[in-house]
Structure 1
Amino acid sequence: MAKSEQLFNIILSHEGGWSNHSSDRGGKTNMGITLSTWKSCGYDKDGDGDIDSDDLRLITKDDVFTLFKKYYWDKCKADYIHSQSIANYCCPIKHFCDNKIRADSIFRSQPFVVISLLQYKIK
């Protein structure tokens, strides 16, 4: 079975720490988590009564993993995918599709759907 930790480590290897680049549409970001994502899924880390960039600066790798597991990996039901490679491919694509990027703009054919469905173990 696929392991969430493996994909998480790949993602984290491409994400840095704190950034707030004007050319990045995500704005304030820490370890790949944008402020808007932290506001919708995170919590008030510094206890000052609001969720803001100060909280985003305080997030840990464990916080990021918890978010990744709950809102990306588990939504894909990736624990049921036998192949790690397929899980590594499906989870990010599911995220893009959930964010209203049409799957057919990424894939011009449908073998992906068949392959990923074949990987699920029906319980």
Structure 2
Amino acid sequence: MFKADRGWRIGTTEAGYSTLSPRLRSVSMRRRCKDRRKEPTFRGKRCAAMTDPELRAQSFEIAWRYLDQSGLLTGEHKDSARFILNRIDRMMLRGERRRLLLSNAAIDAYRLRPVLVSA
């Protein structure tokens, strides 16, 4: 019985580890992940299967936690959440899929937003 008959991929051992060099392995991973619109994880040896709502929620959670713990959240929480999500959504519409970049951009936009002062 050949390895191909058992469902193994060429270039892997019986335990499933890759026999390719690290450089070739990362090149082959990039090729496999290139067509997907998801964030590739080369350390995990597979592409991250993250949907847009999950990415949006995780980016929002990172930004919200940071702003809350640093004491930068001011005003109504509903308005702040809407502002952060709007920024994340606009970047996702432009094709950005990196979670930390989305959250950091939302944090920076929130810090620099014009605040209306009511007298």
Fold similarity call, TM over 0.5: no
TM, length-normalised to structure 2: 0.27
Higher radius of gyration, 1 or 2: 2
